[in-house]
Amino acid sequence: MSDRLSERGPTGQGPRGQGPTEREQPGHGQTEREGPEGGPTAAEEAVREEGAREEAANGPADHGPAPGADAPLPPYGPGSATRHDPGPAPGTGRGRPRRFWSARRVPAALVALVVLGAAGLLLYDVAAVRAGRPAMYWRRELATQLAQQRLDGTWLLTAAAVAMALGLWLLVLALTPGLRGLLPMRRESAHVRAGLDRDAAALILRDRAMEVSGVRSARVRVRRRRVTVRADAHFRELGAVRADLAEALDIGLDELGLARTPAVRLRVRRPPKKG
């Protein structure tokens, strides 16, 4: 008997060298230490009674959804995460639409090559003269001709006119956007710009015109500010065909999504009789 007591240790403890034994508390998945007689201690009883009084006074505590249960969905409305409307992007659909600018790579490359070649040749000739060598023949001849020519001479005026025309052409290229065949479209996003080719727009409008009853043929020409349509009607009244055609063209222009809707110039006629 004494040997068994020595192995168990004091009352309420496990084998020698281990702590007090534990038992499961039913319904909570936790453990509690047993008292000297296998029941909870006085401190644990006091804590449990205090919790029971608080639950009776404030109602059962909300510990959140159980593990694995679905979380409740947010309310469906303007401020919920289920339905979110960011609204229109800032700066879209307002202001004057800007045209697309051409890079002008070919004229810029040609001018750069000419200027680079002339400057390099002149610099080489000046360096050769500074080194004690005679100037090149073309420079000596050019200096002689300029000294002998009058300011109102035909050759000098012609050269000045050509130089002025080239300068004006370069200024026009630098100050104008170019790309006249590309029509800017409405901007649905602040970070995206789109354009539509004029030939493609003319083809789309021609297809819309051919869908109108009574139209035999149609020719469409799209400009930046005007659309010219010439149609031949082989039956129905010209007034009815013109009204239906104008409505179809308005719908087609709206579907193109252009930033600036061009004006429509419409002409409907009877096709010429053969023979």
SS (H, E, C) 129-154: HHCCCCCCHHHHHHHHHHHHCCCCCH
Scan for tokens 């449990």, then name that residue: 48
The predicted pLDDT at position 75 comes to 46
The predicted pLDDT at position 215 comes to 93
DSSP strand E in 127-225: where?
182-184, 195-197, 215-222
Ranges of the chain with pLDDT below 50 = 1-37, 68-69, 73-93
The predicted pLDDT at position 234 comes to 87
pTM over 0.85: no
The predicted pLDDT at position 232 comes to 93
Give the torsion sign (CA, 21, 27, 30, 32).
negative
CA distance 44 to 82: 47
The predicted pLDDT at position 233 comes to 92
CA distance 134 to 128: 7
